[in-house]
Structure 1
Amino acid sequence: MRTWKQIVFALVIVAAAAFAWARFYPGAPEVLARWGLDWAVAATPPATGDKAAGAAQAGRDRSSQVATIVATPAGTATINDRLQAIGTGRANASVTVNPYSSGRLAELLVESGSHVDEGQIIATLDSETEIIAQDRAKLALQDAQSKLDRVKSLRASNAATPVAVADAEVVLAGAQLALRDAELALQRRSILAPISGTVGILPISAGNYVTNQSTIATLDDRTSILVDFQVPERFAAAVRVGAQLTATPIANPSNAYTGTISAIDNHIDEKSRTLLVKAKIANPADSLRAGMSFGITMKFPGDTYPAVSPLAILWGTDGAYVWQIENSKARRVPVRIIQRNTETVLIDAELESGDMVVTEGTQSVSEGGEVRIAGQDQRAAKTAEGS
């Protein structure tokens, strides 16, 4: 068979299939009308004979029948306005204590787990050399003071020049600075606690040689616990410093603590699309530790939407919709699903609280068709009897 014959044959098959679809498919006229092909609907010959009469009679029967359905009133609900996240706790302040200089660790004055105050001595280094330097500086200061006194007495009798007095004063000032330097060097042989807190496990013992890079102890201020957690991007605009939250230890969910947001990062992480937030939780009983994991819960004011039963949601070619009952007639209402909950679906639609929405029998409902709500007659009769 030649190519042109094959093409003609294929076109004939396609035309026959299109004619059959336009003639027999129930929704074909509406589709052709949306495509602007009303002439194709008009050109389609009407059905003839008994079949056409039977179809028309069936259509009249369906239009004249009243569909019995089950309907429930639409309600209202607030969109989920709760933020839940997992955070990691750390101490309000944590310091690693290192000595200022090198030397042999002479004594540790604290134990692991003990509480220390700011400025308290926690360890000392050997200080014989510094003591000697301090004593030498004291002697030098005394000698400089004596020389200044002699020069001043000579100056009173004009036996010394003003320059000699000035030189003696300079020597005295240098001796005073040397003594202060020796005292500071000796003072720094005692290692002080920079903050008030609890001592961790001591990594070193007395007698070891240490440098300014050696860790003597770690101190944690646990009067409050800081919790770092990530907030989804959609909550970034709602989070504020000072906002309250609830923190629940993952290991002990029966206890809940109230805290406040203390700091918010200045940018959203590009990889996780989250915002870093820091919260502060009071710890007066010292029951919380750094490194604990917390479940963070925050509540925000949410928007209110109509709420319907999940059975009421139907889908068509143009999206989701529900059947609303007005004056015993059905009306198709397009909806946009906002959130699915356990028992209801929050939607964005032209519905108000109390509007009746079809939940069962939707297959019998058509646009503008009359419907009867099942059980409505019995309820009306009971109401009349009671009155």
Structure 2
Amino acid sequence: MAGAFLAWVFLAPGAQETLADYGITLPFTPAAEPVVGNVQVPGPGAGPRPGGPGAAGPAGRFGARAVNVTTTPVTLATVNAGLIAIGEGTAVRSVTVTSPSGGTLEELLVLPGDLVEAGDVIGRLDSETEQITYDRARLAAEDARVTLERQQELARSSLVATSALAAARLAADTAELELRSAQIELERRNIVAPISGIVGLMQVTPGNYLAAQTAVTTIDDTSAIDIDFWVPERYAARIEPGMSVIVSAIALPGRNFAGEVSATDNRIDPASRTLQVKASIPNEENLMRAGMSFTVELGFSGEEYPTVNPLAILWSAEGSYVWRYEGGTATRVMAEIVQRNSDGVLVRADLQPGDAIITEGILQLNDGMAVNLLDGPDGTSAVEAAEAATDAADS
């Protein structure tokens, strides 16, 4: 143990200075050598020491040796400035057309892909029975109307009792209701488009018997496309209706479409921790279809953070930190890591763009220690450099 201690005292750089800090002075410590100008002159009997020309030289065993370092500049990076999500398109309105009543399908009046307007007849069921019922109700209504008119003429001449006139009026009203009922039943033999849009594939063919509410086809209003997509919950407070979005479809390479957020869900999905969002995209050219897969891009203001070289990050009990080069010395700066990337680490720290961050020689540094800069910026930040340039121009 004594031999190791002596070896440390005489061979380790700065060992005797360390002992002196603790109040320990060795009696055989070499005498300080006088300094003439900027040159240290060996004292009497002093010979060259192993490993260097003198104790005060950069390579001397008892002098403080400045650490050689290299630096890289601080840059700025923006995060959370955009979001890309995958969504599925649906028609702004879509309905499944069903048979309003039971019966045999006699004909279809449209083909898949046809554009129809709301109220257009797209198919007909057999209607012979309903037509007969309607005709009978129409004749009964006409007869009741004629009877009522005759009773009204007689009543004006006081040739009929008031009760007979009231009975004739009731019969006419009842016949009118029967006619309207028969007309509705006859109209229900037509299959009508409830909205305007494009007809889909037919689910039935003429000759089939259709029960009431049997699906016949679908009609999609694709004048606009609604896209449902999901975003991480950290964006929930930043997305609101009216925000602009840009979408592209795998089926339409090279084409981008603009739209806006039309609605957001009122809760976060607890399983995926995501929020469902709906965007509406105009489809004037009718290129987009329901069911397409879309890439949705949203833009945000973003957050800017200083970015340092990954090699500059060190850790202590207080957390992560970096060494900043300032005027020939190393200064310790606490740097909380925000995001790690392959080419840089985003940190939350008191750093400015252009600050010189030490990346080599960092394991030998102490706060305020003098260092020799071998390569990299000299520690003048971009802000300071701009101010210096302005002062020079003014002078």
TM-score of the superposed pair, with normalisation by structure 1: 0.81
Deviation at 1:376, TM superposition (A): 7.2
User: Is the 2:323–2:332 Cα contact (8 Å) retained in structure 1?
Assistant: yes
What's the secondary structure of 1:254's corresponding residue? coil
Per the alignment, residue 3 of structure 1 pairs with none
Query: What letter corresponds to residue 371 of structure 2 in structure 1?
Result: V
AA in 1 matched with 2:173 = A
- Residue segments in structure 2 that go unaligned for 5+ positions in a row: 18-60, 379-395
Which residue identity is paired with 1:172?
Answer: A
CA drift of 1:315 comes to 2.4
Paired position in structure 2 for 1:207: 207
Taking structure 1 as reference, are residues 128 and 143 closer, same or farther at Cα in structure 2, changes over 3 Å only?
A: same
Mapped to 1, the partners of 2:336 and 2:377 lie a distance apart of 33
> 1:156 offset after TM fit, Å?
2.3
1:230-309 matched pairs, under 5 angstroms = 230-309=230-309
1:259 touches 1:279 (CA, 8 Å); kept in 2? yes
Distance in 2, Cα, partners of 1:166 & 1:62: 131
* AA partner of residue 352 (structure 1): Q
Query: Which residue of the partner structure matches residue 170 of structure 1?
Result: 170
Alpha-carbon displacement from aligned partner over 1:306-329 (angstroms, at most 9, x marks no partner): 111222112234321100112211
Aligned-partner residue type, residue 285 of structure 1:
E
Which is further off, 140-149 or 260-269? 140-149
| CA RMSD across the alignment | 2.3
Query: By how many angstroms is 1:367 displaced?
Result: 1.9
- Cα 1:241–1:62 shift into 2, 3 Å: farther
Partner Cα distance (1:318, 1:226) in 2: 50
CA distance in 2, matches of 1:324, 1:338: 19
Q: What's the counterpart of residue 195 of structure 2?
A: 195
Q: 1:49 deviation in Å?
A: 4.8
Q: CA deviation at 1:289?
A: 1.6
Partner of 2:92, secondary structure, is strand
CA contact (8 A) 1:123 1:191 kept: yes
What is the CA–CA distance in structure 1 between the aligned matches of 2:238 and 2:5, rounded to whole Å? 67
Secondary structure of 1:132 counterpart: helix
Sort the Cα spacing of 1:246 and 1:376 in 2 relative to 1 into closer, same or farther, 3 A.
closer
Change beyond 3 A, Cα 1:237–1:109: same
Structure-2 change in CA distance of 1:90 and 1:50 (3 Å): closer
- 1:50, CA displacement in angstroms? 5.5
Other structure's SS at 1:236 match: helix
Secondary structure (helix, strand or coil) at the match of 1:368 reads coil
Residue 365 of structure 1 and its aligned partner are, at CA, apart by: 2.2
Matches within 5 A, 1:87-106: 87-106=87-106
Change (3 A) 1:298 1:322: same
Provide closer, same or farther for how the CA distance between residues 376 and 198 of structure 1 changes in structure 2, counting only shifts above 3 A.
closer
Report the CA distance between 1:169 and its aligned residue: 1.0
Question: 2:234, 2:157 → 1: CA distance?
Answer: 88
Write out per-residue CA displacement over residues 91-130 of structure 1, whole angstroms, 9 at most, x where no aligned residue.
Answer: 1111111121111111100111222111111001111111
Could you list the runs of 4 or more consecutive aligned residues of structure 1 that deviate by over 6 angstroms after TM superposition? none
Report what 1:183 is aligned to.
183
Question: Structure 1 residue 377: deviation in Å?
Answer: 11
Per-residue displacement from partner, 1:130-181 (whole Å, max 9, x unpaired)? 1111111111111111221222222223222222212211111111111111
Identify the residue that residue 227 of structure 1 maps to in structure 2: 227
SS in 2 for 1:64: coil
Q: How does 1:3-152 map to 2 (within 5 A)?
A: 49=6, 51-55=8-12, 57-58=14-15, 60=17, 64-152=64-152
Gap change, CA 1:57 and 1:216, over 3 Å in 2: closer
Q: Distance between the aligned counterparts of 1:62 and 1:176, measured in 2?
A: 121
**Aligned partner letter, 2:286:** D
Cα deviation, 1:253-272, whole Å, max 9, x if unaligned, reads: 42222121111111111111
Q: In terms of mean alpha carbon deviation, does 138-147 or 149-158 score higher?
A: 149-158
Partner SS state of residue 335, structure 1: strand
Unaligned runs of 5+ in 1: 1-23, 25-46, 379-387
What's the secondary structure of 1:202's corresponding residue? coil
The verdict on how the C-alpha distance between 1:377 and 1:202 changes in structure 2, with shifts beyond 3 A counting, is closer
Q: Which residue of structure 2 lines up, in the alignment, with residue 316 of structure 1?
A: 316
CA spacing shift, 1:262–1:145, aligned 2, 3 Å: same
How far has the Cα of 1:63 moved from its partner? 6.8
Aligned counterpart, 1:364: 364
AA aligned opposite 2:278 = K
Partners of 1:59 and 1:228 in 2: how far apart? 73
Per the TM alignment, residue 341 of structure 1 is displaced from its structure 2 partner at its CA by: 3.0
Aligned-partner SS, 1:173: helix
Structure 2 distance, partners of 1:294, 1:208, is 39
When the two structures are aligned, how many residues end up with a matched partner? 334
Tell me how far apart the structure 2 counterparts of residues 251 and 218 of structure 1 sit (CA, whole Å).
Answer: 22
Deviation at 1:77, TM superposition (A): 2.0
Greater mean deviation of Cα atoms: 125-134 or 282-291 = 282-291
TM-score by length of 2: 0.79
Q: 1:328·1:370 contact (CA, 8 Å) conserved in 2?
A: yes
Q: Is the 8 A contact 1:63 1:369 kept in 2?
A: no
